[in-house]
Structure formats: C-alpha cells, structure tokens
C-alpha cells in the first residue's frame, strides 16, 4: 500500500509567502494545493506555485554538473561529477585571484529568494566587494533604501490587521497580475471588496486600473513631477495631517518651497495628466484615513529613480499614514535575513567596490546594503577599467535577459576568463558559461524567511521534500565551496545559517526561546501581532528622529535632499531631433501572472495561457502603421530591434507602446534560445546618465518606432514544440 503524507511548505516560485500543502506518495510530491490556514496568502496560490510539479519534474531541468567542451556559447557540454566541478571552480578562483586580485571576481545573484542573501554571504566570505543583482538598483531596493533614510525602516502595506484602508493609491504596480510579492496579488482585492477606494497611476489601463475610482495615465518617466504636483495640492490646500506633520515630520517648509516649481497646471503639461485629475487624486487620498500607498518598480526604471521614490513616499508621510493600522506598517522583525558575513570583507576591499565613488546610496560603506554598480562592473569586464573583472558566478541569474542593453551585457559575459552558472534550466546566460551546476527548486531546499518583506511579522519555513537528480541548493554549494577554499563560511551546514537566523528570534521574543529549526519545520509558520506607532517611543531612526521630507542622509552625501523631476534623456522633449526618426515612446516591464521575471516559459500549463509576448499599441497608432491585432511587429530603438505580437488596445496612449519583459524561447534549441528575438533589453541602454545616488539606468521612456514583421516564425516554432502538447512529465 502506498504511503500518503501531506506536508505544508512555503512556495517560493516568486518572492512571495504563499503556503502550499504538498501531498507525497511514497515520498514523492504528487499534488499541490493552497494551505487554507496560511497566515498571509489566506488559502490562495497563483498559477506559478500550483504548477510546481511541472517545474520539479521537468525533463529539461539541469540534472548534473556540466563542463563546456566546445567554444563558449556553442552548446557543447560534458557531464562531470560534483567533485570535478568543485576542483575546476577552486582552480579558477585561485588563478584569477593570483593574476588580478579577489576583486576581479563578481558574484551575481538573481531575484530575492533563498539564494540572494547566500550569494552576498559568499561574496563577502570569498573576499570580493563586487556582488550584483539585476534589479538591485532597478527594483524594490531603491524603495527600501529611501524608506530607511527617511522613516528609519521599510514599511509594508498593512493588509493584516483589523483596519481596512479607506483608499489605496497603487503607483506603477499592477499586482493583481504581476504580484511578485506573492500574497499581495490577493490582498489588494480583499481590501477593495471591503470598501477601499482605489487610485491607480499607470500609463496602461491595467486590470487594476479598470477597477479604479481614478485612473491616472502619465507620460512614462514623469512620475516624480506628478507626485510633486500632488504634494503641492496637499500642502498648499493644507490637506496634510497637521498633528502628525507638526510633531513628527522634518522639512515641511522646504518641501513646500520645492513644490512651488510644480503647480498642477505646469505638471499637467509635463505629464499629460489633466490638472483637475491631479487635484482630485491628491484630495481623495489626503481625505482617506487611513490611506495606503502601493508603489511598484515602475518608479525605479529611470535615472530619476531615487527622487521619484522620494516624492511618492512623501505623500504617505504628509498624510500621516506611517506605521498606522491600514496604512504603512513597520513590522516586528521577528527574524532577520541570513547573516551576510560582512566582517569577512576587509575595509581595503570594501573601498574597491565598483561604484563606491559615484553612487553612494548603492555602494558606499554606510549604504543600507552595499552592492556594486552593474554598469560599472560590466564595463570593467569589457575594458579592464578601473580594474579587470575576470570571473563571474551566476546564481539564478539570467542577466542576458534581465540586465539592460543585451549586446553590451553579452560582450561583458564573454570577456570573462571563467563563468560558472547555477540554475534550474539552460538559460541563454547558462549557455555562455564554462561550468553549469544543477540548482534545487523550491520543494528541494530548506529556508527560513520573515514576511512581509523587510517587516517580518511572520516566520515561514520552506522544506526540502524531495531531491531530483544531482541538484543542490545554492546554500549547500557555497558552504561546501568555502570549506574547500579554506574560508570561514561561519556554519558547518546550510542548516547552521538557518539556526543563526532563529537565534535572533529567540533573543528578541521570549515566547520563542525554544524555537529551533526542527521545531520550526513542525510548525511551518509562527507570527507575532503588530505593534503600531513605534516611533512614538524613541522617534524615527533618522538623524532628526523625524520622518524626513528633507533627507539629511542624501544631503550628507552631497545629493539633493528634496525630490525633484528630471526629464528622461531620450524623449520628444529632450531629443526632438531623435523623435523625428523614432516618434513613439517605449515603456517596458509589462508582466503576466504566469511568469516570474524571465522564468517559467518552459512550463507547458503556464506557457499555454500566454504563449507569446505582447506589445500594446493604440488603435490609432496601429492603423497609422498598418498593424492589425495579432500581427507580429518590430519595435526598434537606437540599440536594436525585437519583435512582439500586437495587442491593439485603447488602454494606452496613442503616443506610447508597451513591451513585455523577460521573453526568451526555451523551445528554440539553438544555444541562444531566441535571446535576441523578443527580449526587451535588446532595446534598453546601460550607458549613462545614471541616477546620481543609486546608479539606476533607464529601462523605460525611450524613443522607438514600430513596423510589421510579416516573416515571423515564432508561432510556428511554438505550435510544433512540446509546450503546446499535453506531456506527462516523469
């Protein structure tokens, strides 16, 4: 008789915190359903998590370590053992170190799941200051860094208490379909069903925008100007929370003077948003008690990244919705991320971090979480300046899709002496590596994580339920590699790192004094109730002890302490000459619920729901270029061209087109897997100007042109592939 067992575990097929019930038959996962008692997702999961068995048993998984046997990128591989792989890695690390120094090795992590903090820990333990993550200056962390500077700590939206927000302002965040934070895609819907009003700021009429009380459709890249105009209304009409601002906010007068340059009538011309709509949105949000700001990564995709985030965050400060029920919530910090071994990296090495002189919020010694500047690192790979970077470790990092200007990123990868990639599948980035290692998927590893992100009211556990082939978790790999290199990893096993996390929980919360990893696995999740208004005891964790509209930390680094607007460098306003050849504005980053960044396009049940990338084009624009709905269209910028399938919709401005992000084609058997066909980062730029403080490069608000692609074979290839056929995965 078969042995049947059901185990609760944390799904990590995105950043999120949805708990799954996995049924095991004779120790093998055979079914996944949501856990009805899960504390954050509350009995729901998205299609990505529910397709976990397809991921686990996919025949194209990397099954064992492989060494390149032909030219780099030729697609020729030979199977090797893990011992051989470790020997090759150690030899290359020592060779690069001897010739160039440890700083010549770059550790590149992917999105912020279990492996991200482990990669940082490995870089510090190895002794290199150069670790990078494709979204670090482009996605989420600018919001985290700005929050730490201005209100002391990042705060999440409080969907978890007894108070429902009266109004949600969703800015550049379509999280009903692209909720990479997992549970958030469900919780905003819950808030709306309980009566919350909704304001959406987005150039596209998204699913969320269709449900909004006010939909604001700005010109891409003008978010900072729009936010400053809303602040102008809130301050000049005295709609701000006077009690909170007078006692707890620093810089009101300075902010008022700054917004004098951004009256709604002037900003209406900049942003294309009518003046009366700017006023109405500001008035609606300011009147709501509480109000909740849901801000997304669209704010972080221009060279004005930090100031745009500052301006939008200031709306939440002025309206007094800081660490309050139904607004923003600081969280309890029930458990920290894994320790990063910062003490292993010498001060001399820290000062060599690429980008440290130019982008202090990203790379300085006193930055919130110092990391290297990707464009500077890639330039060092290509040119050897300011010093050579010759070794690259990729951990869940498909940088050829997720980093700007694919051609230059490709050249940088190819210029390395040694590239090692650990991943689930042979991605385009894996295909130009020298060594490829099989990574564990989310049901094949252990993790302790606090949620919501950076606020951590709940500890959840991800459990190793099974193992396929020769896969290892990134933590296991780095731990063993450090042992072989004679480096102090600070733990004998990956479980030791998890115990280090829980030791902090035990010290902070006496009720958990007996909580170890074994007990945590039995419980799956534990929570503590939120305590609001923590700033009332000792003030905010800023220099002034107040929430800062005027940012003293930015001022100390020599940056503008107040938000401002900077016109993107490639628009009809800044480059009218270029607009004659490229008359349309390109925005990027469109996502769908079935994929996570560049992942899951080889999962049949997910790909069948959305088989091709879509470019949104207004009917007037489509007619002008002879494009019909469903046609394949070329989109071209100064950097190159790609093709996507036309989605003709009046939910976008006629002057704007939007491309989806993250597209490659696993069904294309050539080693590049269609890297150059539909990948939007072929069109973007990794060149300066950058955001002064964060080093952010632009990923949207470019000039482009479109024209039909009558010879496209992408559909034919897909329909002849395994992806559109029912296939039993074993």
* pLDDT tens for each residue of 512-557: 999 999 999 999 999 999 999 999 999 999 999 999 999 999 999 9
The arithmetic mean of pLDDT across residues 477-491, rounded, is: 97
Please indicate, yes or no, whether residues 593 and 664 belong to a single structural domain of this protein. Answer: yes
Is the residue at 564 inside a domain? no
Two tokens, residue 403: 């980093």
Torsion of CA 197, 210, 158, 506, to 10 degrees: 170
- The Cα–Cα gap between 453 and 134 comes to 18
Predicted confidence at residue 16, as pLDDT, reads 84
Length of the chain: 730
Residue 729 pLDDT greater than 50, yes or no: no
Is the residue at 292 inside a domain? yes
Is the residue at 219 inside a domain? yes
The arithmetic mean of pLDDT across residues 178-201, rounded, is: 85
- The Cα–Cα gap between 612 and 663 comes to 8
* pLDDT tens for each residue of 216-243: 999 999 999 999 999 999 999 999 999 9
**Model's pTM, two decimal places?**
0.97
* pLDDT tens for each residue of 501-517: 999 999 999 999 999 99
Q: Which residue has the tokens 């009046």?
A: 650
Predicted confidence at residue 177, as pLDDT, reads 74
Is the residue at 534 inside a domain? no
CATH of the domain at 10: 2.20.25.90
Please indicate, yes or no, whether residues 202 and 236 belong to a single structural domain of this protein. Answer: yes
* pLDDT tens for each residue of 387-411: 999 999 999 999 999 999 999 999 9
The arithmetic mean of pLDDT across residues 701-722, rounded, is: 97
Predicted confidence at residue 728, as pLDDT, reads 41
* pLDDT tens for each residue of 40-91: 999 999 999 999 999 999 999 999 999 999 999 999 999 999 999 999 999 9
Residue 183 pLDDT greater than 80, yes or no: no
Is the residue at 538 inside a domain? no
Is the residue at 339 inside a domain? yes
CATH of the domain at 314: 3.40.228.10
Please indicate, yes or no, whether residues 216 and 186 belong to a single structural domain of this protein. Answer: yes
Two tokens, residue 655: 């002057």
- The Cα–Cα gap between 652 and 511 comes to 53
Q: Which of 329, 360, 386 corresponds to the end of one domain?
A: 329
Please indicate, yes or no, whether residues 498 and 408 belong to a single structural domain of this protein. Answer: yes
Using omega within 30 degrees of 0 as the cis cutoff, is the peptide bond preceding 576 cis?
A: no
The pLDDT-based confidence of 174 (bands split at 50, 70, 90) is confident
Which one-letter DSSP state was computed for residue 460? E
Please indicate, yes or no, whether residues 45 and 105 belong to a single structural domain of this protein. Answer: no
Q: Which of 283, 306, 329 corresponds to the end of one domain?
A: 329
Greater model confidence, 188 or 412: 412
The arithmetic mean of pLDDT across residues 12-23, rounded, is: 92
Predicted confidence at residue 524, as pLDDT, reads 97
CA distances 145 to 276, 312, 323, 398, 551, Å, are 33, 14, 17, 24, 12
Q: Which of 305, 329, 353 corresponds to the end of one domain?
A: 329
CATH of the domain at 608: 2.40.40.20
Predicted confidence at residue 113, as pLDDT, reads 86
The arithmetic mean of pLDDT across residues 162-184, rounded, is: 83
Is the residue at 418 inside a domain? yes
CATH of the domain at 452: 3.40.50.740
Q: Which residue has the tokens 């002849």?
A: 720
User: For 46, how many CA atoms within 13 A lie in the half-sphere containing its CB?
Assistant: 29
Contact 293, 155 (CB under 8 A): no
> Which domain range does residue 77 map to?
66-139+334-527
The pLDDT-based confidence of 730 (bands split at 50, 70, 90) is very low
Predicted confidence at residue 180, as pLDDT, reads 60
* pLDDT tens for each residue of 614-670: 999 999 999 999 999 999 999 999 999 999 999 999 999 999 999 999 999 999 999
Predicted confidence at residue 182, as pLDDT, reads 62
Which one-letter DSSP state was computed for residue 112? S
Predicted confidence at residue 179, as pLDDT, reads 61
Please indicate, yes or no, whether residues 506 and 450 belong to a single structural domain of this protein. Answer: yes
Residue 286 pLDDT greater than 80, yes or no: yes
Question: Which of 51, 1, 47, 64 lies closest to 22, judged by CA?
Answer: 51
Please indicate, yes or no, whether residues 135 and 76 belong to a single structural domain of this protein. Answer: yes
The pLDDT-based confidence of 727 (bands split at 50, 70, 90) is very low
Torsion sign (Cα): 191, 594, 24, 65: negative
Q: Is 382 helix (H, G, I), strand (E, B) or coil?
A: helix
* pLDDT tens for each residue of 110-155: 987 888 999 999 999 999 999 999 888 999 999 999 999 999 999 9
Pairing status of strand 105-109 against strand 391-395? parallel
Predicted confidence at residue 112, as pLDDT, reads 79
Q: Give the Cα-Cα-Cα angle 656, 633, 622 (nearest 5 degrees).
A: 50
Two tokens, residue 691: 């955001």
Please indicate, yes or no, whether residues 597 and 464 belong to a single structural domain of this protein. Answer: no
The pLDDT-based confidence of 181 (bands split at 50, 70, 90) is low
Residue 705 pLDDT greater than 90, yes or no: yes
* pLDDT tens for each residue of 311-349: 999 999 999 999 999 999 999 999 999 999 999 999 999
Name the average pLDDT for the chain: 96
Contact 665, 656 (CB under 8 A): no
Please indicate, yes or no, whether residues 319 and 353 belong to a single structural domain of this protein. Answer: no
Please indicate, yes or no, whether residues 675 and 650 belong to a single structural domain of this protein. Answer: yes
Please indicate, yes or no, whether residues 18 and 109 belong to a single structural domain of this protein. Answer: no
Burial class (CB within 10 angstroms; exposed 0-12, middle 13-18, buried 19+) of 4:
exposed
SS (H, E, C) 297-346: HHHHCCCCHHHHHHHHHHHHHHCCCCCCCCCEECCCCCCCCCCCCHHHCC
Is the residue at 146 inside a domain? no
Count up the domains in the chain and report the number: 4
The pLDDT-based confidence of 682 (bands split at 50, 70, 90) is very high
Please indicate, yes or no, whether residues 127 and 234 belong to a single structural domain of this protein. Answer: no
Two tokens, residue 228: 């400053």
């Amino acid at each position: 008789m078969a042995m049947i067992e059901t185990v609760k575990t944390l799904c990590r097929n995105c950043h999120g915190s949805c708990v799954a019930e996995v049924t095991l038959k004779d120790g093998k996962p055979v079914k996944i359903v949501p856990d009805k008692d899960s504390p954050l997702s509350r009995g729901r999961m998205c299609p990505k998590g529910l397709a976990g068995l397809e991921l686990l048993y996919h025949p194209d998984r990397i099954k064992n370590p492989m060494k390149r046997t032909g030219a780099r990128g030729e697609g020729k591989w030979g199977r090797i053992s893990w011992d051989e792989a470790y020997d090759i890695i150690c030899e290359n690390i020592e060779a690069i170190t001897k010739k160039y120094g440890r700083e010549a090795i770059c550790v590149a992590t992917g999105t912020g799941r279990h492996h991200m903090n482990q990669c940082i820990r490995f870089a510090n333990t190895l002794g290199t200051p150069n670790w990078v993550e494709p979204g670090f200056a482009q996605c989420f962390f600018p919001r985290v860094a700005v929050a730490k500077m201005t209100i002391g700590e990042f705060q999440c939206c409080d969907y978890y208490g007894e108070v429902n927000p009266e109004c949600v302002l969703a800015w550049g965040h379509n999280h009903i379909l692209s909720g990479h934070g997992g549970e958030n895609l469900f919780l905003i819907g819950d808030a709306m069903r309980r009566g919350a009003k909704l304001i959406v700021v987005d150039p596209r009429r998204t699913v969320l925008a269709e449900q909004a009380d006010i939909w604001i459709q700005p010109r891409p890249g003008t978010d900072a100007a729009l936010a400053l105009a809303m602040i102008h209304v809130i301050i000049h009409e005295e709609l701000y929370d006077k009690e909170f601002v007078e006692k707890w906010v620093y810089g009101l007068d300075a902010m008022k003077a700054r917004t004098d340059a951004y009256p709604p009538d002037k900003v209406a011309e900049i942003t294309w948003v009518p003046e009366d709509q700017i006023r109405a949105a500001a008035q609606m949000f300011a009147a709501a008690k509480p109000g909740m700001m849901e801000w997304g990564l669209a704010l972080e995709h221009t060279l004005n990244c930090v100031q745009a985030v500052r301006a939008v965050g200031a709306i939440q400060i002025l309206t007094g919705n800081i660490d309050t029920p139904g607004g923003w919530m600081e969280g309890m910090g029930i458990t920290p991320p894994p320790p990063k071994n910062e003490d292993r990296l010498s001060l001399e090495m820290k000062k060599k971090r690429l980008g440290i002189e130019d982008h202090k919020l990203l790379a300085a010694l006193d930055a919130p979480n110092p990391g290297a500047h990707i464009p500077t690192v890639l330039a060092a790979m290509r040119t050897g300046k300011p010093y050579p970077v010759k070794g690259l470790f990729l951990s869940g990092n498909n940088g050829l899709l997720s980093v700007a200007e694919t051609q230059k990123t490709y050249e940088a990868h190819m210029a390395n002496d040694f590239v090692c990639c650990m991943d689930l599948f042979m991605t385009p980035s894996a295909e130009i590596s020298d060594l490829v290692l099989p990574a564990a998927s989310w049901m094949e590893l252990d993790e302790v994580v606090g949620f919501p992100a950076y606020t951590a009211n709940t500890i959840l556990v991800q459990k190793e339920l099974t193992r396929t082939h020769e896969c290892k978790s990134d933590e296991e790999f780095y731990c063993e590699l450090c042992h072989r290199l004679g480096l102090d990893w600070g733990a004998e096993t990956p479980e030791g790192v998890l115990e280090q996390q829980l030791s902090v929980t035990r010290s902070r919360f006496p009720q958990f004094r007996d909580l170890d990893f074994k007990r945590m696995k039995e419980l799956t999740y534990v929570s503590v109730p939120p305590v609001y208004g923590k700033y009332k005891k000792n003030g905010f964790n800023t220099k002034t002890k107040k929430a800062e509209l005027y940012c003293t930390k930015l001022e100390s680094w020599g940056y503008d302490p107040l938000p401002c607007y900077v016109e993107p460098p490639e628009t009809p306003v800044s480059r009218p000459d270029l607009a004659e050849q490229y008359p349309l504005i390109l925005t990027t980053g469109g996502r769908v619920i079935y994929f996570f960044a560049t992942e899951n396009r080889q999962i049949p049940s997910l790909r069948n729901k959305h088989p091709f990338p879509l470019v949104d084009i207004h009917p007037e624009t489509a007619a002008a270029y002879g494009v019909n709905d469903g046609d394949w269209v070329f989109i071209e910028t100064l950097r190159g061209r790609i093709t996507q399938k036309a989605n003709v919709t009046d939910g976008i401005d006629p002057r704007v087109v939007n491309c989806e992000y993250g597209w490659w084609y696993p069904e294309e058997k050539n080693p590049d897997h269609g890297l150059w066909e539909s990948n939007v980062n072929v069109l973007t730029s990794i060149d300066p100007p950058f955001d002064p403080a964060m080093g952010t490069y632009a990923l949207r608000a470019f000039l482009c042109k479109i024209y039909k692609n009558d010879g496209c074979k992408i559909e034919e290839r897909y329909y002849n592939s395994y992806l559109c056929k029912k296939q039993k995965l074993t």
